[in-house]
Amino acid sequence: MADRVVAGRVIVAGTAEGEALVTDAALSFWGGYDFHTGEIIDKHHPLAGVRAAQRILAVPFSKGSSTTTAVLLEAVRAGTAPAAIITTGPDTFFALASIVADVMYGKSFPVISLEPADFASLRTGEHLSIEASGAIRRT
């Protein structure tokens, strides 16, 4: 199958590639993500028990605790963060974690926003590469 490209809006620029992990349910990383293991732990969430570390996590937006950012920063430091996060809008919590990780550790991850229809077309398990322009290549 030929590559298909989805145009995303860059919230925090960067490149990444990996396996997509897709959910339509918002997530709080505090109480929802174990930065020691990279696993989603929110028992209310459909991805509870799934490892998101090094995968490209597509989640529409953050919810819940303000501490989501700090958990994500810890995950970047520990090497257990998603490789990139794809959202349906400019989620400030995810963006801030990437920006502070860049400032503190020189390690940021791309945060890309998609139109809802494009977001809905993503499938868990497909291989994605994110380009600096925000283009998402699906193979």
Partner 1 sequence: MANGDGGPAQALAMSILVRMADVYGATELMDISQAHIDSTIYLGDATLEFAERLASLGARVAVPTSLNVSGVDECGWKDWAVKADWAAKAARQMLAYERMGAVPTWTCAPYQTHMRPVFGQQIAWGESNAISFANSVIGARTERYPDLLDICCAITGRVPAVGLHLTENRGGQICLRLTGVPEALQQDDQFFAVLGHLVGQLADESIPVIDGIVVSPTEDQLKAFAAAAASSGRVALFHMVGVTPEAPTLDAAFLGRPPERTVAITTADLRAARRELTTADGRELDMVILGSPHFSLAEFSLLAPLVAGRRADPRVKFLITSSRLMKEHARETGVLAPIEAFGAQITLDTCILASPMLPPEIKTLMTNSAKYAYYAPSLLNTRVTFGSLADCVRSAIEGRVVRDESLWQIA
CB 43 within 8 A of CB 85: no
Q: How far apart are CA 139 and CA 128, in angstroms?
A: 7
Query: What is the closest distance, in whole angstroms, from the C-beta atom of residue 70 to partner 1 in the complex?
Result: 4
In the beta sheet, which residues pair with residue 17? 129
Query: What is the closest distance, in whole angstroms, from the C-beta atom of residue 6 to partner 1 in the complex?
Result: 20
Quote the DSSP letter at residue 81. Answer: S
Contact residues for partner 1, defined by CB under 8 A: 11-12, 26, 28, 31-32, 35, 41-44, 48, 61-71, 73-74, 76-78, 89-90, 92-93, 95-97, 99-100, 103-104
Nearer to partner 1, 18 or 90 (CB): 90
* Residue that has been written with the tokens 């997509």 in this structure: 20
Q: Check 28, 62, 65, 98 and give the catalytic one.
A: 65
CB 114 within 8 A of CB 87: yes
Is 108 a residue of the active site?
Answer: no
Query: What is the closest distance, in whole angstroms, from the C-beta atom of residue 138 to partner 1 in the complex?
Result: 25
* Catalytic site positions: 65
